[in-house]
Homo-oligomer: A and B are copies of this chain.
């Protein structure tokens, strides 16, 4: 059943990839990618770099039609960006888009010929949520998934496309609630708001997603690409909007008040597994 494609001319195939933060397994035309960047799946330079390599390779490997992203960590799908390495993790995006911006990298993925599905278990916040929003579909475990955009709690603005996607998915009122409150949302509430496609029982999630991925991969590739193009033409924000948000994220990051809150948070335990389990509850304390 498992097919590892051999090299196609000069192009490497996904089977030849040797990655540290992404565990890759191909089953027919579906690539299952497990995010595995201990201790808590922070988005740092290595993860972004390998994500770029994966996307480039998979796009060039015609044996791949659909990618499923999940996490090797049951508590964190992706925690968020490594706030101590902002300029470093932005850099590898240049290879794909010509610009050092996570938002534009994610937007590139939204326009890819590949169909992308995220299978969310555990927490996914900040740029992790923005990565999920850039993928084509999002399914989450009812019992364990938690999504959030905590940026406002630090005085930051979500800079990697979250504002663009959330506003278009659910409209002004709910997008403002999510982004201004920085709250954690359960899978059920995230479904009601349209943040994710569906919340499913954790025990059924993997089979559901895998079966959907294989189903889609069996349909003709040409029409799937056209369909994505046509949906994107209406629903995907222009690159200029991603660029503006990306710039504003850096700009708000330079505010004295933001820097004070980030430092406060680092002292207390930000970017450590246990402390962030209840990140949303801790946000209002960061100002004091």
Contact = CB atoms under 8 A, between A and B. Distances in A.
Interface in A101-143: 110, 115, 133, 136-138
B252 A167 contact: no
Contacts of A197: 173-174, 177
Nearest to A168: B171
B227 A152 contact: yes
Contact of A157 (B172, B215, B230): B230
Interface stretch (A13-21, A44-52, A86-94, A178-186): A178-186
B227 A155 contact: no
Most B CB contacts (10 A, CB to CB) among A110, A137, A173, A236 go to A173
Interface stretch (A4-12, A54-62, A218-226, A264-272): A218-226
A113 to B, nearest CB: 12
Main secondary structure of the interface of A (DSSP, over half): helix
Interface string A154-171: 111110000111011111
Contacts of A95: none
B175 A231 contact: yes
A85 interface: no
A257 interface: yes
Contacts of A177: 136-137, 197, 212
Contact of A223 (B155, B165, B227): B155
A25 to B, nearest CB: 21
Most B CB contacts (10 A, CB to CB) among A133, A219, A241 go to A219
B284 A231 contact: no
Contacts of A181: 212, 215-216
A219 B182 contact: yes
A137 B230 CA distance: 24
B152 A219 contact: yes
B215 A284 contact: yes
A133 B174 CA distance: 11
A84 interface: no
9 contacts: A115-B176, A163-B234, A167-B235, A172-B231, A172-B236, A173-B196, A173-B197, A174-B194, A182-B215
